[in-house]
Amino acid sequence: MPETGASPLPQTPPAHSPLFRAEHFVWLTARVLEQRLFAYHFLNGGPDPVETALDAYRNADGGYGHALEPDLRGPVSQPLHTAHALRVLDAVGRCGGQRVERVCRYLTSVSTPDGALPTVTPAQRGYPTAPFVPVVDAPPSELLATGPVVGLLHRNEVWHAWLFRATDFCWQVVESLQLSRPDEIQAALTFLDSAPDRPRAQTTADRLGRLVRDQGLAVLDPSNRDGDAHRFPHDYARTPNSLARAWFTDDEMSRSLDFLTAEQQEDGGWPARRRQWVPTTTFETRPMATIEALQTLRAHGREVG
């Protein structure tokens, strides 16, 4: 018998279930951070080991670097790395306190004159960087970098002076989107799903949903992919509570989740549907995609094991 108060034993998923196969893949290929995240989400692991693994990427300026976001190599802090760190902290319920206060000070230090975030700062120059991520001397504000950060901070009821202008920037950009692309829509959604003004967020999300459908930014029937879209309903509505869930019918969402289930590969992992430029990023992003796929399926009530 285990001692009273001892940590619960790890849960073992049924053999040959999607979760069992994914677990083997994660132990075989993932970085320590993703191993700890997998254990937290699916094997009754605790949040402390996740935080400890994340600390390896944290810098003295309060930001994060060291290829936490695999497309940016090198040690320097960058907004994309820091957004990734906030997603991890949010996932384990630790997005608050002094750690996030330090993050907000870093965000303030790298913000553009309009109070928002660039995707990459000039500090990245000289380190290996994905060719599709330009490094320029005076980078502009980007919703891709700012929206997810602002959304996660609001989701966790963080209040900091940096948020005021950054929130205004997100509203201005999101409400003016006309021609867009999937990653920009996803950044807008992360903001809208947690924006404090819920009626305004609902109205704006309704308009974006029509834009997604009108511009063919989602594959509504995976068996008939005759366009250029490479995002599916589940990529936008990762949980049933997302504002994006109303964009799709029950049949469209069911087909999307069926497709996601079938995407699990023979090695147990899911593919990383992002541009690859060196083999390292493929190895590092597939465990992330695997954890995300399992979370999405489970959130929508699909059995994973």
pLDDT digits (tens, 9 = 90+) for 133-142: 999 999 999 9
pLDDT of residue 290: 98
pLDDT at 275: 87
Instruction: Provide the 3-class DSSP secondary structure of residue 291.
Output: helix
Give every CB contact of residue 266 below 8 A, 6+ residues apart in sequence: none
* R_g over Cα of the chain: 19
What is the model's pLDDT at position 202? 98
Residue 253 β-bridge partners:
none
pLDDT value at position 273?
A: 85
**In whole angstroms, what is the distance from residue 88 CA to residue 257 CA?**
24
pLDDT for res 224: 82
Which phi and psi angles does 178 have, rounded to 5°?
A: -120, -75
Q: Can you give the pLDDT at residue 230?
A: 85
DSSP string, 221-290: -TT---SS----HHHH-SSTTSGGGGGS-HHHHHHHHHHHHHT--TTSPPP--S---SHHHHHHHHHHHH
How does DSSP assign 29-61, residue by residue? Answer: H--HHHHHHHHHHHS---HHHHHHHHHTTB-TT
Collapse the DSSP code of 157 into the 3-class scheme (helix H, G, I; strand E, B; otherwise coil) and give the result. Answer: coil
- Please report the pLDDT score of residue 1 as a whole number: 41
Q: Are 287 and 29 in contact (CB under 8 A)?
A: yes
CA dist., res. 77 & res. 81, Å (int): 7
pLDDT per residue rounded down to tens, the chain (305 residues) = 444 444 454 566 666 899 999 999 999 999 999 999 999 999 999 999 999 999 999 999 999 999 999 999 999 999 999 999 999 999 999 999 999 999 999 999 999 999 999 999 999 999 999 999 999 999 999 999 999 999 999 999 999 999 999 999 999 999 999 989 999 999 999 999 999 999 999 999 999 999 999 999 999 999 887 655 689 999 999 999 999 999 999 999 999 999 999 999 999 999 998 888 999 999 999 999 999 999 999 999 999 99
Say if residue 159 is exposed, middle or buried (CB neighbours under 10 Å; 0-12, 13-18, 19+): exposed
| Burial degree of 50 (CB within 10 A; 0-12, 13-18, 19+) | buried
Reading the block at residue 39, the tokens are 């254990």
